[in-house]
Chain A
């Protein structure tokens, strides 16, 4: 039995999570094949604000601010969005296994990206319109899921989840077919895209994703109290004055839109959306007013830290980010779970 955590405990966990974010930002900027000290990077950042002088060469400055910084910021955005979307889905569907890809975002984005990649003769790179098609595919899939499972007045969260499963299966089969019809090189490209990566990050991709992530995270965090109310079930939540259908449409829409935007740029990074909210929940209890804001921060920190691992352990080649999130996330999760079990009789 979990008991509600004390205010002091929540504060401590929040402080630890913020500290993790600071460490993640530092790692994102400092760690890399070219050694550049944290102090010198900080000095350069201050000099840009008109304070003091920078000791970085222009090459070092480019490495930090044009390669590492956008990658780190994109990681923060993607991690925050995936974590908060996962937490929101778990709340709105009252299903602990829900992840941001539940309603077809992944399958739709996968199909869109595959369409873009297999339809070009040049197999040396991913075409520029891949994110656009992935984004469109993700939105079409979620809209179809909602159309099939969520429109009717009598539809329950379970109907929507089942519709998501069906739509995902449909899109995945179409994607597999397309992939199977294409060349070996395209298959490799598609596969790499599906695994997700921050390697192609640029300020351009950051600017594309920022408005979606900020808006969608804000909507989800603002809905925290509504999700707490929904934990008593639809009928009771309505009797308490909540427009359950409106809330569900709003938060599912926001989570899906934000996830679609992120996925279209970084590919399908798995595990963040399910592991981060659960770690946070184990630490601070079941109230979404604590889970959602802390998931935003911890998701951001977690993904950047995983990315640091992904790009360093086998340098100069990179591990797929999805592999690292699972390899780091699963043991952490199991550890917290077993510690909690030992403490509670």
Chain B
């Protein structure tokens, strides 16, 4: 479904992403992990077709993203940025409706089908009670759900998310990831996300890709990547993996000499 071939991305003289090739199967969830500055955000933005590549190609559903128009691209892949901008004074309903623009077109009003699709996703993500509220007045968890709702309203086969659970408490983090997981399982959605929480990444996703200094260090099942030597190496800290109820839990460990 998603094909990256030799993707290289520069900002001026700095290399952000170097020669990354990746293939994500339809209906699966692939999570990109890695330390700060590894190039995760740049990679997912490229994957959503929002960056001009120095080299390489990104294909979604067989189509090269740099060769199609914005509107066609928005019907293939939806994007949730790390820090979404929430316009003050826009209702939740209006905000989620923005996801339908690529379908009804910017000069047309939403059709009945568009409105139904928005209502459907608003209900699915339990935003029904906030419909007419100002999006900027919502709590962190509600806000993230609203942004996810906008992305799902685009009705694309692929959704790309950059740190979708940043700033949420543990309950809301779990809720958010469960909602996504449900979309993958029930609607066949293909998800590519970046996550900082390694335990949650392992818990929810089929596959992990470890990115470090713009390059793929390790790519495999969650179990495989989390227990790899490269993981601790990339993060430059000591990590321990323990098993709780059959799941891998990643715990940072302080060196003995650092302890008081």
User: Interface of A with B (CB < 8 Å)?
Assistant: 1-4, 153, 222, 225-226, 228-229, 231-233, 235-236, 238-244, 247, 285-287
Contacts and interface: CB of A to CB of B under 8 A. Distances in A.
B133 interface: yes
Contacts of A236: 79, 81, 84-85
Given A2-B88, A232-B87, A243-B70, A238 B137 contact: no
18 contacts: A1-B137, A2-B88, A3-B137, A4-B89, A4-B90, A153-B52, A222-B107, A225-B101, A228-B94, A231-B87, A232-B85, A232-B86, A232-B98, A239-B50, A239-B79, A241-B75, A242-B71, A286-B89
Contacts of A239: 48-50, 74, 77-79, 81
Given A4-B89, A231-B87, A287 B94 contact: yes
A241 B98 CA distance: 10
Contact of B81 (A222, A235, A242, A285): A235
Given A3-B137, A4-B89, A4-B132, A240 B101 contact: yes
Interface in B135-163: 136-137, 150, 154
B73 interface: yes
B70 A238 contact: yes
A243 B49 CA distance: 13
B24 interface: no
Contacts of A235: 45, 50, 79, 81
A229 B106 CA distance: 9
Nearest to A231: B87
Contact of A233 (B48, B74, B85, B99): B85
Contacts of B114: none
Interface of B: 45, 48-50, 52, 69-75, 77-79, 81, 84-91, 94, 98-99, 101-102, 106-107, 132-134, 136-137, 150, 154
A222 B106 CA distance: 9
Contacts of B52: 153
A1 B134 CA distance: 8
Contacts of B81: 235-236, 239
A238 B71 CA distance: 8
Contacts of A244: 70
A240 B88 contact: no
Nearest to A286: B89
A236 B150 CA distance: 11
A241 B85 contact: no
A242 B74 CA distance: 8
Nearest to B102: A241
A224 B78 CA distance: 23
Contacts of A1: 88, 134, 136-137
A229 B133 CA distance: 18
Contact of A2 (B45, B85, B89): B89
Given A222-B107, A225-B106, A232-B84, A4 B94 contact: yes
A67 B72 CA distance: 54
A243 B136 contact: no
A221 to B, nearest CB: 11
Contacts of B50: 235, 238-239
- Interface-central residue, B50, B87, B88, B91, by most chain A CB under 10 Å: B87
Nearest to B110: A225
Contact of B134 (A2, A241, A242): A2
B137 A242 contact: no
A81 B72 CA distance: 34
B98 A240 contact: yes
B132 A240 contact: no
A294 B152 CA distance: 32
B70 A3 contact: no
A153 B98 CA distance: 25
